[in-house]
Amino acid sequence: MAGGRPTTYQPENAEIARQTCMIGATNDTLAERFEVCRRTIDNWIATIPEFSAAVRQGREVADGAVVSALFARATGMEQKMTKVFCHRGQPVTATYVAQLPPDVRACIFWLRNRRPEQWRENRPLTAEGDDRDRVSELEAASERVRLAAIAERPRAGPAQSAAEGPVRREVDAAVRGAAERLQVHS
């Protein structure tokens, strides 16, 4: 025989909980509704299958409504609106359909939750290595190209020195190597 206080749970509590959860009730709200403590609600959810199922069903309905509203905001929507005008001293009501554009914040929220690996705020920029090493390597290669271009200017013309070819090939190879390591393709 179990000890402790007898439960105040009634079979009709499941339906009340389902309907209350359909309009967004939390466990704290349910506790207030049934005049019990939050811990009792947690216990009912854990031990009474019909109550747990009713709470889950009600919350699924509420969550579905919010998802639909968020999706509509994220993708843009049409909304029926009414405006009241004063014409010759008399109120005139006009009903029209307003086209609401997509809401950027709703888009961001949706994408960060649906595709966090691509849209989370603090995602890693690269999967490997340190970006500073790559940037310094690319800067060094760029500097070598700049110096080679400066060295070529005075010698440009039909009579180029024999040493110019190997320097140019070395610079080109360095730039290609850096681009391959950085996965930069032109």
Distance in angstroms (rounded) separating the CA atoms of residues 137 and 145: 13
13-42 residue pLDDT tens: 999 999 999 999 999 999 999 999 999 999
Closest CA to 170 of 151, 156, 183: 151
Q: pLDDT-derived band of residue 183, with 50, 70 and 90 as boundaries?
A: low
Average of per-residue pLDDT values in the chain: 81
CA 4 to centroid of chain Cα atoms: 47
Task: Compute the average pLDDT of residues 68-93.
Answer: 91
Tokens of 138: 């690319």
Closest CA to 83 of 92, 94, 72: 94
| pTM score of the predicted model | 0.54
Tokens of 168: 């140019």
Closest CA to 78 of 59, 95, 93: 95
